[in-house]
A = this chain, B = another copy of it.
Amino acid sequence: MHRFSKKVSMTVVKRLPKYYQYLTDLLLNDIEKISSKELASLMGLTASQIRQDLNSFGGYGQQGYGYNVLELREAIKEILGLDSDYTCIIIGSGNMGHAIANYERFKREGVMLIGAFDVDPLRVGTVVGNVVVKHMDELEGFVKNHDIDICILCVPRGVGQQVAKTVTDLGIKGILNFSPLDLDVPDDVVVENVNITDSLFTLTYLLKEVTDPE
């Protein structure tokens, strides 16, 4: 599969979770096969986009039959790396850290929260999700003793870069970044940003477009 995925554009990659979600829904509704046209209509894409997207990964459909929902879902699950389990830690146990720690979906897809860290003495010792918050001083020892795949970063903007450096120096390769800044990380580290302020600003832009068109 990797020989295909290297060529895949981020636009297509960004659509894969959506395919996964829709195929999961179809399975839950006992739908076993679907044409590219039907899937396209569900997802608000064109049938040709669907065929192109899936062809980037080697192609899964069968002319005149469409897609086997279970097979396609399993294939996309594998492409997304969700056939493996992941360990993760949360740094920053404020409201956002709590919200993420309690996301059932993460656990269901094999992303296991095994540690949480903070510098605030009022938060250290409290529980987020199913773990007890430790002080940041314990981070290095913890990461060295556990094999951590993902750091979920929920710290204030001002310390985001510094904490990102700490965790990447400790060998963590994936960061899900809720801190509102662009992180500078080594080439072999991947960052996915969830920038809620950016989303709000995109919304106010669009809102202006619909409510005040000229």
Contacts and interface: CB of A to CB of B under 8 A. Distances in A.
A16 B14 CA distance: 20
Which of A18, A20, A202 is the most central at the interface, judged by chain B CB atoms within 10 Å of its CB? Answer: A202
Task: Count copies of this chain in the complex.
Answer: 2
Interface string A121-138: 000000000000000000
A21 B193 CA distance: 15
B182 A192 contact: no
A69 B63 CA distance: 56
Given A13-B202, A82-B204, A202-B17, A210 B188 contact: yes
Contact of A205 (B43, B81, B103, B193): B81
Interface string A155-179: 0000000000000000001111000
A170 to B, nearest CB: 15
Contacts of A82: 201, 204
A193 B44 CA distance: 15
A3 interface: yes
Interface stretch (A30-38, A46-54, A94-102): A94-102
Which of A194, A212, A213 is the most central at the interface, judged by chain B CB atoms within 10 Å of its CB? Answer: A194
Ordered nearest first, which 9 A-B pairs have the shortest CB separation?
A81-B208, A95-B99, A190-B206, A17-B198, A17-B201, A81-B204, A2-B214, A192-B203, A174-B207
